[in-house]
Structure 1
Amino acid sequence: MGAVTPPDGFTFDGLVAKLAAHLRARGSLTDARWEEALRAVPRHLFAPAAAWFTSNHASAPRGRFALDDEPAAWWTAVYADTSVVLQTDDGAGDPLSGKGLFSSSVSAPGIVFPFLELLAPQKGDRILEIGTGSGWTAALLSWAAGANSVISIEVDPEMAARAAANLRKAGSAAQLVVGDGVKGWPEQAPFDRVHVTVGVSDIPMAWIEQTRPGGVIVLPWHAGGLVGHQLRLKVVNETTAVGRFHGTASYMMLREQRYNTRWSGHHHEAAHRSTTRISPRTFWDMDLGAQLLCIALVPRVSWYDVSEDGGDSLLLYELDDHAAEGSWAACDLKAGAAEAEVTQYGDRRLWDELSSAYRQWISLGRPGYDRFGLTVDPAGIQLWLDHPSARTWKMQT
């Protein structure tokens, strides 16, 4: 990698202290031991000498930085709240271009540490990690739980080889295996903790079955809507886990659960047209509690906002596993108009589903994010309000 120490004007301790201060100020680092982990498991040992960096917040660096060309910029980017792109298009793309589907990265510290704090590993815990990536989080977990405590599964052999080299360089005792994380790792179950570093919509029962009763699973839950959600599940028994949400999180999806991420309008001449008094803006910055209920009642659907020519629009599309002609909808409100125009096509009327779910949230008294939780059992996934035995909605898959 070239130089292993920061250039003149920088120190490793200074870079770590600055990053830790930033994370504390944003509420992403509240446990002092994880600041200690930042020093004990140096992030630069897991970053390529040249990489594309994406920012987790507005002031973080973004773009291509190379250690040999711009050492100061590279070190600054590594010790900022950035994601470091390791792979695009499952290895077929150029990770230095910043283009294509990002398929592996060193995740941003601003989302890594909130998940680690939710997991709350203790010395002696047996931990299963789904998605090794660079190996950085496996090394952090190993530092927290002790030697030979972590088994990390990586589906991509090339990425696994790179992660293994990084772990050796960092002196970490985390165990790395190549395999399908959906199946877990029954050979060494049960585990006390399961740490998932990829977005999932359908939560595999194997993870619950391989976790001790009372054990914890943390994961980015991406079932639709606008963003993913930090979910902390506590395992009740071999078939059931119950938990609550702890904020938003956007991660790369588990490979076998990927879906289309782009709105596509088609068959406009056959689309159904109507009007509504609901503004598209209602869903732009929707309350997270409302979003959770909409995800439950409007499954496998995503939406995003558009504003142009003084008007507002909301575009909805079915997450249909790359099918070319899935259902879609658009709600367009022209500047000064009293009603918005709604256009819908497909087997589903997506605008009708979404607006009905939103109305139900209002009728429930606009419950907040912290009142919702999730149960996972052989019957599927159920969203609940206030308590698992109270009002529930079964997620449709």
Structure 2
Amino acid sequence: MDRLIASLDPEERGHISESIVDAVRAVPRHHFIPDVGLVRDDDGERYLIDRQADPDAWYRAVYGPNGIVTQLDDGATPLTALKGDFTSSASEPATVADLLNQLGPEPGHRVLEIGTGTGWTAALLSHLVGGHGEVTSIEVDPQVAEQAAKNLSYAGFHPRLLVGDGALGCMDGEPYDRVHVTCGIREVPYAWVEQCRPGAVIVLPWHPGYGDGVVLRLEVQDDGTAAGRVVGFASYMWMRAQRPGSQETAETTRWYWTALDPRALGDLCNGADLAISALTGLESSVSSGVDDDGEYWRMVVAPAGDPGSYAVATWRPGRTRHAVQQVGDRPVWDEVLHAYARWVSWGEPSWERYGVTVAPDGQSIWLDTPDNVLRRQEA
């Protein structure tokens, strides 16, 4: 436990309140971790922890700093395969503590949680709001929800648990004081805002498209909107209703040269990534790598609404120009470069200067103030 507590306040995050630390001490994490889990080491390699085969290693992982994957491919692939998409987990303790710290739940609050997962955060929230508060937690996966209910009951916590689409919220528990989201979101469902009182806080892992995920903290306004800024970083598994769609391969391909070293885009700060997300609307994650010949490549993929469009730029040693393969009709690489240039022209604003407003008709991404809208997304 001491090792886990020590991991909650890394230097790159803000100070975690004593109430959050006390909650982590009061809710043993091992009650919420299955006997077999999947962990990634510092190099990204996957390995299993098995309580029966090696209990000491299992406990070290449970009370260590890493997230523990509990499901692959929505349950279609066993963890022992070590391959597949992560679809449910017990998140990294420091990230959980950071999001709860931003949320600021207090005794007596009514809290809506989107994504029960293992149940650990629902237990932490139950401890934080106390006996006069109420926690409603929604999980889309029936099997995950069933196990979470068992975990919570065994640990002595009894939040209200529902199975369903968390994007819809829960109307018969409103008005909420806090909304805690445990899955990656691109577009904030207005239902969460609508079901909150004015002054309520919504904290979520926001995946705007290009680059890494961030933490968004919104406050509900008297006019029925919610607005707030990026307050940190977090990469979570997608909410199932908002997962990027699959792409078909386009038939058209063209090649051309770019003067910008594609490696430079991999070294950009998060402020640039947020600008590119806002200005281009790219939805899919950027991928990159180095092949056996030492060539670096970087791929950018268009949203599902532009089927098959993507671009791959390749750096080769000794070259001053770099090849771009553009597939499909949308000039994805050019859009990224133009957005990057605009970010530079703004004075290279950092990530803390970006925010979002959520209204009944959609959400707006802005820089510095809600009036300076970079992109409007219709509901």
TM-score (norm 1): 0.89
| Contact map agreement 1:130 1:198 (CA 8 A) in 2 | yes
Distance 1:349 1:61, change over 3 A: closer
What is the aligned counterpart of 1:304 among 283, 287, 291? 287
What is the aligned counterpart of 1:362 among 318, 326, 344? 344
What is the aligned counterpart of 1:220 among 205, 216, 238? 205
Equivalent residue, structure 2, for 1:92: 76
Q: Higher mean Cα deviation, 212-221 or 96-105?
A: 96-105
Equivalent residue, structure 1, for 2:115: 131
Corresponding residue SS for 1:82: coil
How far did 1:161 drift? 1.2
- Cα deviations across residues 127-184 of structure 1 (Å, max 9, x unaligned)? 0000001110000001001135100011112111111111111111311111211110
Distance 1:296 1:99, change over 3 A: same
Corresponding residue SS for 2:221: strand
1:192 is the counterpart of 2:173: no
Q: Higher mean Cα deviation, 370-379 or 74-83?
A: 370-379
| Contact map agreement 1:211 1:238 (CA 8 A) in 2 | no
What is the aligned counterpart of 1:140 among 124, 130, 140? 124
| Contact map agreement 2:257 2:321 (CA 8 A) in 1 | yes
Equivalent residue, structure 2, for 1:247: 232
- d(CA) in 2 for partners of 1:334, 1:86: 40
Corresponding residue SS for 1:302: coil
How far did 1:382 drift? 1.4
Q: Higher mean Cα deviation, 208-217 or 270-279?
A: 270-279
| Contact map agreement 1:225 1:303 (CA 8 A) in 2 | yes
| Contact map agreement 2:9 2:94 (CA 8 A) in 1 | no
Distance 1:37 1:27, change over 3 A: farther
How far did 1:207 drift? 0.4
CA RMSD of aligned residues (A): 2.2
Equivalent residue, structure 2, for 1:350: 332
1:280-359 matched pairs, under 5 angstroms: 280-299=262-281, 300-308=283-291, 309-320=293-304, 325-359=307-341
| Contact map agreement 2:244 2:284 (CA 8 A) in 1 | no
- d(CA) in 2 for partners of 1:222, 1:112: 17
How far did 1:70 drift? 0.6
How far did 1:372 drift? 1.2
Distance 1:208 1:366, change over 3 A: same
- d(CA) in 2 for partners of 1:52, 1:161: 20
Question: Kindly, what percent of the aligned residue pairs are identical?
Answer: 41
How far did 1:101 drift? 1.7
| Contact map agreement 1:241 1:376 (CA 8 A) in 2 | yes
| Contact map agreement 1:261 1:319 (CA 8 A) in 2 | no
Equivalent residue, structure 2, for 1:36: 22
| Contact map agreement 1:265 1:328 (CA 8 A) in 2 | no
Aligned residues: 375
- d(CA) in 2 for partners of 1:378, 1:203: 11
| Contact map agreement 2:285 2:300 (CA 8 A) in 1 | yes
- Cα deviations across residues 42-81 of structure 1 (Å, max 9, x unaligned)? 00000112222235xx299962121121111010000011
Give the residue type in structure 2 aligned to 1:376. Answer: V
- d(CA) in 1 for partners of 2:377, 2:290: 31
- Cα deviations across residues 188-242 of structure 1 (Å, max 9, x unaligned)? 1110000010111111110000011110001111121122111111111463111
Equivalent residue, structure 2, for 1:114: 98
Give the residue type in structure 1 aligned to 2:273. Answer: Q
How far did 1:34 drift? 2.0
Structure 1: gaps (5+ residues): 1-15
Give the residue type in structure 1 aligned to 2:300. Answer: L
- d(CA) in 1 for partners of 2:265, 2:12: 26
- d(CA) in 1 for partners of 2:317, 2:43: 33
What is the aligned counterpart of 1:69 among 53, 62, 72? 53
Distance 1:234 1:109, change over 3 A: same
Equivalent residue, structure 1, for 2:154: 169
- d(CA) in 1 for partners of 2:39, 2:44: 9
- d(CA) in 2 for partners of 1:117, 1:96: 34
- Cα deviations across residues 265-324 of structure 1 (Å, max 9, x unaligned)? 664xx3122212111012102111111110011212432222332333211112428x9x
1:198-237 matched pairs, under 5 angstroms: 198-237=183-222
- d(CA) in 2 for partners of 1:162, 1:238: 39
1:155 is the counterpart of 2:137: no
Distance 1:23 1:46, change over 3 A: same
- d(CA) in 1 for partners of 2:198, 2:5: 34
- d(CA) in 2 for partners of 1:200, 1:207: 12
| Contact map agreement 2:138 2:163 (CA 8 A) in 1 | yes
Give the residue type in structure 1 aligned to 2:95. Answer: I
Q: Higher mean Cα deviation, 190-199 or 154-163?
A: 154-163
1:259 is the counterpart of 2:247: no
